[in-house]
């Protein structure tokens, strides 16, 4: 199954944003054990590129692994070379989208306004990330999709177990979930069973 189909099927992209990724495999295994198999390692932490390669090697087809917070096309290229199966930007970054299109890699481009989301789509981003989703909530998403129903939008930032179904009901095709799912103190404590439990809660919330 290709990355976009995996995202559309699972409806959850787990955003792993840590200061360092020395426990990346443990985090990935905990998420997969909880039923979430689409993982995004952000470039804001040290060792993200190495983490992508390590997780791909350790988990194989059990996880779909991507890179997040990509701002430059060179960053996208390095992550793809390391095995990233999709690339996520926090804002509309057309050079990054183009770099992904040239490599036949899924781009999930960030945007907030209807103009930004539409431009990302037209530039080649098969999925567009509404960020920060907490600013507008499900009603804003619904309003954006009314005139632009062809957009495949993934709300990110502020998605919780309480509002996950509301975002999906408003038209989201999947949800990006980060700090509410993978908390830095939990990783630091090695309490990976808590990540598995949180993943199960999100899977249950999404499935309704």
- φ, ψ for residue 109, nearest 5 deg: -95, 135
Cα–Cα–Cα angle for 85, 89, 95, rounded to 5 degrees:
90
Alpha-carbon distance of 48 to 79, in angstroms, equals 9
CA dihedral 6, 8, 11, 12 (to 10 degrees): 50
Alpha-carbon distance of 60 to 55, in angstroms, equals 8
Cis amide prior to 36 (ω within 30 degrees): no
Please check whether residue 127 is in contact with residue 152, taking contact to mean a CB–CB distance below 8 angstroms: yes
Which residues have a catalytic role annotated?
40, 129
Please check whether residue 193 is in contact with residue 30, taking contact to mean a CB–CB distance below 8 angstroms: yes
**CA-atom Rg of the chain in angstroms:** 16
- Three-state helix/strand/coil letters over 62-129: HCEEEEECCCCHHHHHHHHHCCCCEEECCCCCHHHHHHHHHHCCEEEEEECCHHHHHHHHHHCCCEEE
């Amino acid at each position: 199954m290709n990355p976009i189909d995996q995202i559309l099927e699972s409806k959850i992209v787990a955003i792993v944003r840590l200061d360092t990724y020395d426990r990346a495999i443990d985090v990935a295994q905990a998420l997969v054990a909880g039923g979430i198999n689409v993982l995004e390692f952000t470039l804001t932490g040290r060792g993200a590129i190495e983490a992508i390669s390590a997780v791909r090697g350790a988990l194989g087809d059990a996880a779909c692994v991507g890179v997040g917070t990509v701002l430059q096309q060179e960053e996208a290229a390095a992550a793809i070379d390391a095995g990233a199966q999709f690339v996520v930007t926090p804002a509309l970054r057309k050079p990054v989208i183009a770099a992904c299109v040239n490599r036949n890699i899924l781009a999930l481009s960030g945007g907030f306004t209807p103009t930004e989301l539409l431009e990302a789509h037209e530039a080649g981003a098969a999925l567009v990330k509404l960020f920060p989703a907490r600013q507008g909530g499900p009603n804003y998403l619904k309003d954006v999709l009314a005139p632009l129903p062809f957009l495949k939008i993934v709300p990110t930032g502020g998605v919780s177990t309480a509002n996950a179904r509301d975002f999906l009901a408003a038209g989201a095709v999947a949800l990006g979930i980060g700090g509410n799912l993978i908390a830095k103190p939990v990783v630091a404590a090695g309490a990976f069973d808590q990540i598995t439990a949180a993943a199960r809660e999100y899977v249950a919330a999404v499935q309704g």
